[in-house]
Amino acid sequence: MFGKGESFRMNTAETPFEFVTVSYLTRIGNQSAGTLAELLTGLENCSDASIFHHTYQTLGSHHFLTEGFSNDFAQWVLADTSRNDLAEQLAALDIRDYVSIAALRSDLCRVVGEFCSAFQTFARQTALERFYFCESVEVTAPLGRSARTLDEFRDGITYLSHASFYFHFISSRLRLQLQTNDFSHWLSDGLGLPTLADSVNHIDIYTNTLDSSRAKLVRLIDRERRKV
Amino acid sequence: MSETLALTRIPLHEYAGLLGAGEIEELRALAKPLRGRSIQMINSTAVGGGVAEILMRLVPLAEELDLRIKWEVMSGGEDFFEVTKSFHNALHGAPYHATKKDFEIFLAYNERNRATLPLDAEFVVIHDPQPAALIDARKPGSNHWVWRCHIDLSHPHRGVWDFLETFVSRYDGAMFSSPEFSKQLPIPQYLFYPAIDPLSEKNCELEPEFIAQILARYQVDPRRPILTQISRFDRMKDPIGVIRAYRIVKRYFDCQLVLAGGSASDDPEGAIVLKEVLREANNDPDIRVIELPAWAPLEVNALQRASTIVIQKSLREGFGLTVSEALWKKKPVVASAVGGIPIQIIHKHTGMLAHSVEGTAYQIRFLLSHPEIAAKLGEHGHEHVKENFLITQKLKRYLTLFLILARGS
């Protein structure tokens, strides 16, 4: 491990970065919602795996949508209830601000709850299509690839599948329970590159696809390598 | 048995060019703990129909990952398939008077197949209602059984579903194409999508000359906008509604409509619908009603690729894979919000959803007026299919399911 601010650019990390991939199966839940009031009830009662599925996981599976798609709840409110104002508030909830599902659920319930209280008629209006609460069931698998240097790390990054990149860059935020991701965590703690780690953590996952996020990450690494 | 079934072998590495080498490496990583483990896929037909089409491509890919996978087709007489066709329609919500004899025929054939099929793989995947009662062969705690339902169960005939449920509830899990089709069951239910093969004749890239040749054959003008619906001549696909939507659009745009589907010659109901369609078309020179041969993947591919907008105005739909086929070709799609279509069309992101003839016409006019938005929808649609509805993703979903089942035990 290296001290904060220490420069060990091309050094070897003591603990290697292990590349892993993930696959999700969608489990269909027992709850559905046909009104905003029912959506609120669902949000209060669904499992943590369901909140994860409709926020974190959907961001990965719809990463190519960079204009206005944020989570399944916001999309349903927009497309099936036409409540643009509520959809906008739900879409504005940024998963990077949360380190627990409980906190994210609480804010989702607050936003929908406040809207339902303020607009009780809208809260009872029937949506065009129902919202079905689903859950993500996760399986991870090691890719048998690891990195101890920045060069090896760069090679590994360029070869990753979308799911693997998503696992390390997006869903890792919940696992780490830190407002960071696997890549930044290792760049900082493993390679002693906190500035690079911070820049990587600032890549916007809502306005970038997984491919463009990866391209930005590689550019940041290349800039760091040129400093040597 | 898989040895005698017509399997389409395309090596995994050939998909790497389209998907990236990392995606193939990922499949290998997920399959590693399953190497050498046995899987049986069982359905009721070796050729024809979406299930057989998917299995003939999926099984060789799984074999390449060193899974011991076999595809078995249950046998049945004419009486069995008559009953199961009635069951199929009834599960889709059609009126049906079920007799005791129908259920007896269903059970008798399942019993006969239990005696002839091995059914001893670690993972047994039963496709659709026909072989559902094979579960009676399961020995307690011996292997994993899952039921894959490819049909729309949102409004099933009560009696038929109640009968079927007694078998389905004994599986370890059930897979449906849409959450809307799921039922109240004591077993886990998963979302499984049908899939297209990007390297198949129906979806591969085509030479512009070939596309031009197909358009010329069917007298379609390539210089004017082409609206296309590809589907069999079936009232549930609402071809009459498509013509009515086209007529509204035609007031504002000099466009053409192509309605292309499999030949109706051996389908009495299809022939009636085809007559209704021709009557509604009323000799409009810009409406082309095309009866395609039963197997015409290259023609379908060419017509989809030549289209300005693809329509799928179904009234009921299982999944509607023609939507994914069009999206894969980067076509803007206007489709009804029924069955599995909203899973493929995320409104205003990967296409446009509509709920009426007028709504369909409005969305078509909007896209004809805004080709840049239409192009973006097509691009996003292509990415959506790449992430979710390709045969490689389907294989990944199966690997994940088997890993979850194995973990559970």
Domains in chain A: boundaries: 17-22+143-226, 23-135
Q: Do B188 and B224 fall within a single domain?
A: no
Helix (H, G, I), strand (E, B) or coil at A20: strand
Min Cα separation A228/chain B (Å): 29
Contact list, B176 vs chain A (CB under 8 Å): 28
Q: Do B59 and B127 fall within a single domain?
A: yes
Min Cα separation B383/chain A (Å): 7
Q: What confidence score (pLDDT) does residue A8 get?
A: 46
Beta bridge partners of B147: B126, B174
Q: What confidence score (pLDDT) does residue B390 get?
A: 97
**Of B303, B312, B206, nearest to B258 (Cα)?**
B303
Q: Tell me the C-alpha distance between B387 and B19, whole Å.
A: 9
Instruction: Name which of B23, B189, B401 is nearest A161 (Cβ-Cβ).
Output: B23
Q: What confidence score (pLDDT) does residue B266 get?
A: 59
Q: What percent of chain B is helix, strand and coil (3-state, nearest 5)?
A: 50, 15, 35
Instruction: Name which of A26, A62, A164 is nearest B190 (Cβ-Cβ).
Output: A26
Q: Do B269 and B344 fall within a single domain?
A: yes
Residue B6 within any structural domain of the chain: no
Compute the half-sphere exposure of residue B132: CA atoms within 13 Å on the CB side of its CA: 27
CATH number at residue B63: 3.40.50.2000
Residue B114 within any structural domain of the chain: yes
Q: Do B379 and B403 fall within a single domain?
A: no
Residue A49, chain B, CB below 8 Å: the answer is no
Residue B7 within any structural domain of the chain: no
Instruction: Name which of A61, A134, A139 is nearest B400 (Cβ-Cβ).
Output: A139
* CA-based nearest residue in chain B for residue A144: B29
Min Cα separation B199/chain A (Å): 20
Q: Do B373 and B401 fall within a single domain?
A: no
Q: Do B321 and B398 fall within a single domain?
A: no
DSSP letters for B343-393: HH--BTTTBEEESSHHHHHHHHHHHHH-HHHHHHHHHHHHHHHHHHSBHHH
Which of A28, A76, A165 should be substituted to probe chain B, the one whose Cβ sees the most B Cβ atoms within 10 Å?
A: A28
Per-residue pLDDT of chain A (228 residues; tens, 9 = 90+): 444 444 444 689 999 999 999 999 999 998 999 999 999 999 999 999 999 999 999 998 898 888 877 899 999 999 999 999 999 999 999 998 998 999 999 999 999 999 999 999 999 999 999 999 999 999 999 999 999 999 999 999 999 999 999 999 999 998 888 889 999 999 999 999 999 999 999 999 999 999 999 999 999 999 998 886
Q: Do B403 and A130 touch (CB under 8 A)?
A: no
User: Domain range holding B86?
Assistant: 13-195+391-408
**Of B248, B373, B236, B355, nearest to B309 (Cα)?**
B373
Helix (H, G, I), strand (E, B) or coil at B125: strand
Q: Do A75 and B346 touch (CB under 8 A)?
A: yes
Q: Do B263 and B115 fall within a single domain?
A: no
Q: Do B29 and A21 touch (CB under 8 A)?
A: yes
Q: Do A139 and B346 touch (CB under 8 A)?
A: no
Q: What confidence score (pLDDT) does residue B53 get?
A: 85
Helix (H, G, I), strand (E, B) or coil at A36: helix
Q: Tell me the C-alpha distance between B194 and B186, whole Å.
A: 24
Q: What confidence score (pLDDT) does residue B30 get?
A: 98
Q: Do A25 and B337 touch (CB under 8 A)?
A: no
B297: its two tokens: 């993947």
Residue A218, chain B, CB below 8 Å: the answer is no
Q: What confidence score (pLDDT) does residue A2 get?
A: 44
Q: What confidence score (pLDDT) does residue B317 get?
A: 86
Q: Do A129 and B380 touch (CB under 8 A)?
A: no
- B120 C-beta neighbours (distance < 10 Å), count: 12
Which of B341, B398, B403 should be substituted to probe chain A, the one whose Cβ sees the most A Cβ atoms within 10 Å?
A: B403
Q: Do B191 and A27 touch (CB under 8 A)?
A: yes
Count of domains observed in chain B: 2
Q: Do A25 and B401 touch (CB under 8 A)?
A: yes
Q: Do B186 and B296 fall within a single domain?
A: no
Q: Do B143 and B114 fall within a single domain?
A: yes
Q: Do B395 and B383 fall within a single domain?
A: no
Helix (H, G, I), strand (E, B) or coil at B62: helix
Q: Which of residues 86 through 125 in chain A touch B, CB cutoff 8 A?
A: none
Q: What confidence score (pLDDT) does residue A10 get?
A: 66
Which amino acid would we find at residue B355?
A: H
Q: Do B310 and B170 fall within a single domain?
A: no
- All residue ranges of chain B with pLDDT < 50 are 1-3
Alpha helices for B239-355 (secondary structure H)? 239-250, 268-281, 297-306, 321-328, 341-344
Residue A163, chain B, CB below 8 Å: the answer is yes
Q: Do B141 and B61 fall within a single domain?
A: yes
Residue A161, chain B, CB below 8 Å: the answer is yes
Contact list, A209 vs chain B (CB under 8 Å): 383
Q: What count of CB pairs under 8 Å joins A to B?
A: 99
Q: What confidence score (pLDDT) does residue B3 get?
A: 43
Residue A162, chain B, CB below 8 Å: the answer is yes
| H-helix or E-strand spanning residue A216 | helix A210-226
Which of A54, A57, A64, A159 should be substituted to probe chain B, the one whose Cβ sees the most B Cβ atoms within 10 Å?
A: A64
- B248 C-beta neighbours (distance < 10 Å), count: 15
Q: Do B399 and A143 touch (CB under 8 A)?
A: no
Helix (H, G, I), strand (E, B) or coil at B94: coil
Q: What confidence score (pLDDT) does residue B92 get?
A: 85
Q: Tell me the C-alpha distance between A98 and B15, whole Å.
A: 37
For tokens 């670690």, name the residue.
B122
Q: What confidence score (pLDDT) does residue B139 get?
A: 85
